[in-house]
Amino acid sequence: MSDLTVDQIKKMREEYLLPSTMTYFEKPLNIVRGQMQYVYDDTGRKYLDGFSAVVTISVGHCHPEIVPKIQRQVAELQHMTTLYYHPTIVKYAKKMAEMAGGDRPGKPANLRVSFFTNSGCEANELAAMLAKNHTKQQEFIALRHSFHGRTLMAMTLTGQSSWRHSMPYVFGVTHAPAAYCYRCPLKLKYPSCGVACASQVEDIIKYNTSGHIAGFFGEPIAGFGGVIHPPKEYFPIVHSIVKKHGGVYISDEVQTGFGRTGKHFFGISHWGVKPDIVTMAKGIGNGLPLGGILTTRAIADSMRGKVHFNTYGGNPVSMAGGLAVLDVIERHRMIENADTVGSFLKARLSKLMNRHPLIGDVRGLGLMLGVELVKDRKTKEVAPKETLRLMELCKDRGLLIGKGGMAGNVVRIKPPMCINRKDADFIADVLDESLGALEKETRVKKPRARARRR
């Protein structure tokens, strides 16, 4: 139900909201209801949410095992400061340490201590502060194509001009090339490249910093950057360079966190790297404003004697919701589902390359998938207008998808982890049909040769 029409909302947004608020689609959607993998607009039309409200709904909209727990907490105690005790915050921190941290195989070792925020950028700000406190250094390495949020430090860490404003950034952040193999920044080819982009991190530390760093920030898979992930050697090499120079390794798991990439709780575990701090938000709250960090006891101890406070961080409602999300992930084996359904969907998307010349690359892990659109596979000329049009055509067929990448030419498919194979088929079928319609519109020739497979 909506008591305002799309046109009324449009007018009111123009009058009352900052004009930097963006929308998708020629006629923006007025989404008024959500149920697991589906959302409904004000006319009652159903859509499969293939973008999880920007990778935020991890286990399903209004999940029936989560909502009652949040409602119970709201009715009992909506807010209490961490100046007083409340049981839920410690229960949540303990459960997270057990599920995400610990020394068990595949788990990032020793990540046991949490602090909760409302958002990912606050988590990244805190991680930077922890790294500075711990190392007594000031400088950071981040990656090109990265996104870390909109506060000043987070924006400074972000490696995309479209997400930066011209302003005095925080001192001491240098960006290293990302391992974007489809468009190698060094114009090399994997594996003969020897993963040269990873060693560039060492050169940058040598030439652009004092030689000592506080830390390194990296997303295991760059989300807004266009679902960019490196070859398996990249992050282990970077990790060893960061450690050699005394830095703290920070894995920004705001999009990858809590199982979205399949197999592992955190995305970084795919690369066998044990980070010193992970930052989290989005999916961990499944729609509640919940972020945080998880770190080692040694790094946490650098905060002894210092006050850090976040009014709503650790709020009982967010904690009850977060705890319920962890329960659902565990009980419904969501991580395995992200892996199996994600692999199935990726295989189907890869097959679409044989039929649709617009697809230049299909990549990603689990349910964090990207399809890069190009006007020509040889020149790899980016196709941002076609990407926007494809999103529109998919929406008309009942599927919501997102976009990313420096040129906005990467379709981002990141549905809630509760989807099944039927949903994956639906996503692939709608993309197939919509790409066909788009190609008719743009009269792109079909490829003669069979497309490359990854």
Ligand X SMILES: Cc1ncc(COP(=O)(O)O)c(C=O)c1O
Residues that bind ligand X (CB under 6 A): 119-121, 124, 147-149, 219, 223-224, 252, 254-255, 281, 291
The one-letter amino acid code at 34 reads G
Query: Least distance from C-beta 215 to ligand X, angstroms?
Result: 15
108 vs 291 by CB, closer to ligand X: 291
- What φ, ψ does residue 394 adopt, rounded to 5°? -70, -40
Nearest distance in Å: CB 225, ligand X: 9
Question: By C-beta, is 141 or 281 nearer to ligand X?
Answer: 281
Residue nearest to ligand X (CB): 120
CA-to-CA separations, 344 to 278, 340, 418, 419, in angstroms, rounded: 28, 6, 14, 12
**Choice between 219 and 372, CB closer to ligand X:** 219
Kindly state the smallest distance separating residue 117's Cβ from ligand X, in Å.
9
CA atoms of 81 and 386, how far apart (whole Å): 49
Alpha helices for 353-383 (secondary structure H): none
262 DSSP assignment: S
Query: Is residue 281 within 8 Å of residue 295, measured between CB atoms?
Result: no
Nearer to ligand X, 148 or 239 (CB): 148
Q: Give the CA distances from residue 385 to residues 22, 434, 438, in Å, rounded to whole numbers and listed in that order.
A: 17, 14, 11
234's tokens = 């990249």
Dihedral of alpha carbons 270, 271, 275, 277, sign: negative
Q: Closest CB to ligand X among 292 and 316? A: 292
Q: Which helix (H) or strand (E) holds 291?
A: strand 291-295
- Quote the least distance from Cβ 227 to ligand X, whole Å: 12
At its nearest, how many Å lie between ligand X and the CB of residue 222?
Answer: 8
Q: What is the pairing mode between strands 368-376 and 410-413?
A: antiparallel
List C-alpha distances in Å: 353 to 21, 142, 186, 226, 242. Answer: 34, 32, 26, 18, 38
Nearer residue to ligand X within complex by CB, 357 or 366: 366
Q: Supply the minimum distance, in Å, between the C-beta of residue 376 and ligand X.
A: 30
How many of the other CB atoms lie within 10 Å of CB of 153? 22
Cβ closest to ligand X, residue 157 vs residue 435:
157
Q: How far is the CB of 120 from ligand X (least distance, A)?
A: 2
